[in-house]
Structure 1
Amino acid sequence: MAAQPRRGGVSVPDRRSASKPDSSILYRIISSSIFSRGKQAASDAAFVSDKLLRSIGKSAWIAGTTFLILFVPLIIEMDREQQFTDLELQQASLLGAPPAAPARS
């Protein structure tokens, strides 16, 4: 019976017997404690950055929707009020009335 090819992934050479440890440089690097600690640190950093990005995204969503709900209608209303004031001043100047001094706040 012929061996079936594996699907996807990287092919790894077959493991050697436990009585004959592998002495290749790659095996020594991968099995070193420094490599495993570095791999764990990278995994932890990826986890923390993922959580941080998710929380920043949620915060941005909350800030954006709050701005749209609270401040955009206020800005529109203030613009509408300014247009109404400008229209009154224009009508008063067309009728010949002396221009009123702008209200100071």
Structure 2
Amino acid sequence: MASQARKGSISLPDRPSNSDSWITNISRSSVVSYTKKAASESSQIFGKLLKSTGKAAWITGTTFLVIVVPLIIEMDREQQLNDLELQQASILGTPPK
């Protein structure tokens, strides 16, 4: 039952409609459907994890900028002031504290 071929072309035989190819049989197997379901659920979980990790990183970063950076700046300023006082005391000849 070959299809009518045009001049110069090759025709393939028609497949019977009730027989499935081996790829179709494999793609319909329970192992493949289970694997697809597991992959889908894994990707959803990974997406949620990535989103929550991003939120945690945002909270950590902004907290660091608001609280820790000014503290570091103030500690540096205090250290510079102590160094300046120590330098002035050594120049004036008074004993350091």
Q: Into which bin does the TM-score normalised by the smaller protein fall?
A: 0.7 to 0.9
Q: How does 1:32-47 map to 2 (within 5 A)?
A: 32-47=29-44
Residue of structure 2 aligned with 1:91, choices 80, 85, 88: 88
Structure with higher helix content = 2
> 2:59, 2:95 → 1: CA distance?
49
Backbone CA RMSD of aligned residues: 1.4
State which structure, 1 or 2, has the greater radius of gyration over its C-alpha atoms.
Answer: 2
Q: Identify the structure with bigger relative contact order (alpha carbons < 8 Å, sequence gap 6+).
A: 2
TM-score by length of 1: 0.74
TM-score normalized by the length of structure 2: 0.80
Give ranges in structure 1 of 5+ residues lacking alignment.
Answer: 1-15, 101-105
Identity of aligned pairs, percent? Answer: 60
CA distance in 2, matches of 1:48, 1:92: 64
Structure 2: unaligned runs, 5 residues or longer: 1-14
Instruction: State how many pairs are aligned.
Output: 83
* CA–CA distance in structure 1, aligned partners of residues 92 and 57 of structure 2: 51
